[in-house]
Structure 1
């Protein structure tokens, strides 16, 4: 119980620190009111809107008011659209979730196929090709891959649509690009774990007992290596939810990434704060869940031994 309570406390402290950082950082960038008024606005107009939005108060007081409202479930009202921040986020979140789920499924398929084959054929040309491709994918920006695929598949071949979200076809390219981008780390992890498993004494013993090679690979090496892949994929999923801004912008996908870009460029303080808090909470909860599950599976984590 002490282990679980400490994890919950760490999560709450992390979320508290994130809220302070994003709140103060936004206000350090300048006056958010200036973006809402014409360039020729008078000093009286600027002062009026500054007071109306509560930005005339000391930053510490503004933060306390913000935390009080958060505890009541009030994320504020968008400066630009005049709509509830939480309503705007909940409207866009399903699109981002849909994109992230598609991407993680693509990454799973790629990593399982190429990671396991690379481990089985360790040291061969195929293995070197897989490792080289993974290194290349980690080095090349995701948006660059997206632009190349748009030009080739979308513009030249006209096989798939590359903007909007009105059908399942619109999901294939952005979801595929994100999946390909994150699959490199998952492929390397599975490959390394399977190589270690295939060289273990247990696998050698099973082979000596006449167990078929396919059964050794699938039932033992791949199965034993799959747990770490699941653990990594949960964090990647949280990263996809929070970090799909570039892909959503390139493909005009109406998710949180596009909303975040609009909020940041428009200096919409409440909307930026709301997006960061929601995404941070999601990531922290997912991390907390994985810690709890790991603690239940491995008692040594709970006892610290």
Structure 2
């Protein structure tokens, strides 16, 4: 949280998950924990902080980009719930530094159902602990918040995600749902986003939505290249993409206004930052045709 110093996670905190430090990835930076650090979170390891500080040295705007991405997600979720969506599949959810999708959605429509997916064991432990504390589990008493679950999987494993019993137990693919893939696909250099998204799109009922954000080299190419270089040096494959390639991920969807835009420009709640050129990440929401 803002204003507090970084906190090193102790292995004992995740002892109930019976995972070793090696499995938890304490000695290697991970994108979810880097993102948490940019947001002012405290759940990072020394390896994460080293890479984050190197990236911030060449692109201090990363903190603003992370905050704008979270704000974009919040506006998109609010819009979709207002439009009647009651199911969310959040892929690459990240650490719970700020309000999470089930909290955002259930504040408006308590019956909303949410499944979180991530491939970082530390994220999984934190998310499950959060849901347990909030008693957000499948099978809650009638009239309570909609069921929420956490699944450990990778966005590159669509068949595994779509067939997972926890996913199938909560998400009804015969009804419209929203699939959230925000600030994730830059860590999937191959295949391109359109190929990753296609199986999820094909599993969605008409009227479902895709929420996607992705960094670009279109705006501040030098800074983008330096950040991706810092990530690659520690074994995190990273790529920025031009707008045209991000747009292909929305094949089969109708883009909601204002289309694919810099994050602050997607249906802002108020005045847009005057330093717009510093936000080199696009966001968009599409509705399956």
TM range (shorter): under 0.3
| Structure with larger RCO (C-alpha < 8 A, sep 6+) | 1
Relative to its length, the structure with more strand (as a share) is 2
For normalisation by structure 1, the TM-score amounts to 0.23
Relative to its length, the structure with more helix (as a share) is 1
